[in-house]
Amino acid sequence: MRWKHIDTGLNTGSFNMNFDLQIAKSLPEDTAVLRTYRWQPFCISLGANQKKDSIDSYSANKDNIDIVIRPTGGRAILHSEELTYSVILPINSNSSAKNIYHEINIALKQGLTFFNPKLETIQLESVQADFQSLYKETKGVICFAVPAKSELKYNGKKVVGSAQRKLDNTILQHGSILCGDYHLNIVNYMKISDIEKIKLKNEIDDSTTTLGQILNKNVDYDLLSESILKGFEKYFDFVFDKQAQFEFIP
Nearest CA to 230 among 242, 222, 239?
Answer: 239
Among the listed ranges 106-110, 114-118, 129-133, 236-240, which one has the minimum average pLDDT value?
129-133
The pLDDT of residue 219 is 98
pLDDT at residue 133 greater than cutoff 70: no
The pLDDT of residue 84 is 98
What percent of the chain has a predicted confidence (pLDDT) above 90? 77
**Which amino acid appears at position 45 of this protein?**
S
Q: How would DSSP label each residue in 211-226? A: HHHHHTS---HHHHHH
Cα separation, 114 vs 232, whole angstroms = 11
Cα separation, 90 vs 30, whole angstroms = 8
pLDDT at residue 202 greater than cutoff 70: yes
Q: How confident is the model at residue 118 (pLDDT cuts 50, 70, 90)?
A: very high
Instruction: Set out the domains of the chain in order of their start, with CATH numbers.
Output: 2-236 (3.30.930.10)
